Amino acid sequence: MLKIENLHASVEDKEILRGINLEVKAGEVHAIMGPNGSGKSTLASVIAGKEEFEVTEGSVSLEGEDLEDASPEERAHKGVFLSFQYPVEIPGVSVTNFMKTAINESRKAKGLEDMPAKDMLKLIREKSELLEIDRKFLSRSLNQGFSGGEKKRNEIFQMAMLEPKLAILDETDSGLDIDALRIVANGVNKLKSKDNAVIVITHYQRLLDYIVPDFVHVLHNGKIVKSGGKELALELEEKGYDWLKQETAV
């Protein structure tokens, strides 16, 4: 589904990603771990098409299609979803209206008519129940005055509504207490199928107890320095990142 080859990316001439290779197939869950500043969030932003980052070498393709010239919204229409570490507040625009706009813009891009209001309401009801979101919450302004946990839950709600092929969860576990973490993880697991894929970016093993990865990759200095199965995450939890840093230095 997603194929990243020798990806180099920089911001303001500073190279952050230095040759990433990663292949994610449909039905798989990949976790990307690594210390602060290793390039995890940059990788997520580059896949989603943030213009601030310049791809200097290599490529990102989705289902065989090179994404180089695709804008963030075109990538979204093709099925890429990024759950943000810091979602943006939009006063005056309710969660419901925001989702209506997002869904209908995607449909428009595919040459479809707007979703009928009745279907939209049904979809919203179904997905909000999945994430145990109160109805009142949906008429509040997007992310405005939301707690950290509410923001993250709302991100996963948006993911549920948009049904992406590839979902990237950037530090979705930060700011979540254990109950919220369970709800969010449960939502992600229910949305998972053999046709879609998930990349989980996290510092900690904690989230991976709930969203169990097929593969774990360790990012350091803009490169994937180690890949393994879910046991790698446990090893990292136990030993920290220092041993890896030493290992790669050698």
Partner 1 sequence: MDLKDKLISSFMAFENNVDVEHSVHDVRTEAIKNFELKGFPSKKEEAWKYTSLNSLQKIDFSIFPREENTLEYKDVKKYFLHEIDSYKIVFVDGIYSSYLSETTHDGVDICLMSAALTKPMYKPVIDVYFNKVASKDESLTTLNTAFSREGAYIYIPKNKMPKKPIEIIHFATGNEASLLLQPRNLVIVEENAEVQIIERHQSLTSNEILTNAVTEIFAAKSAIVDYYKIQNDAATASLIDNTYIDQKDKSLVKIHTFSFGGKLTRNNLNFYQNGEYIDSTMKGVTILGDKQHVDHHTLVHHIEPNCESHQDYKGIYGDGSTGVFNGKIIVEKLAQKTNAFQQNNNILVSDKATINTKPQLEIFADDVKCSHGCTIGQLDEDALFYLQSRGIPKKEARALLMYAFANNVLESVRIPELKTRINKLIAKKLGVNLGFDL
Query: Quick one: CA torsion of 39, 42, 48, 54, rounded to 10 degrees?
Result: -120
CA dist list (Å): 181 to 28, 44, 121, 175: 21, 21, 26, 9
Assess 70 for contact with partner 1 (CB under 8 A).
Answer: no
Least distance to partner 1, CB of residue 237, Å: 30
Assess 64 for contact with partner 1 (CB under 8 A).
Answer: no
Which CB sits closer to partner 1, 35 or 87? 87
Least distance to partner 1, CB of residue 45, Å: 8
- What angle do the packed helices 117-130 and 95-109 form, to 10 degrees? 120
Which CB sits closer to partner 1, 97 or 227? 97
One of 92, 111, 116, 145 touching partner 1 (CB under 8 A): 92
Assess 163 for contact with partner 1 (CB under 8 A).
Answer: no
Structure tokens at 33: 């771990």
Least distance to partner 1, CB of residue 2, Å: 16
Annotate each residue in 31-60 with x if it binds partner 1 (CB under 8 A) or - if it does not, as one string: --------------x--xxxxx--------
Q: Are 47 and 82 in contact (CB under 8 A)?
A: yes
Task: For residues 191 and 164, give the distance between their C-alpha atoms in angstroms, rounded to a whole number.
Answer: 9
In the region spanning residues 111 to 130, those forming contacts with partner 1, defined by CB under 8 A, are 114
Task: For residues 69 and 209, give the distance between their C-alpha atoms in angstroms, rounded to a whole number.
Answer: 37
Least distance to partner 1, CB of residue 117, Å: 10
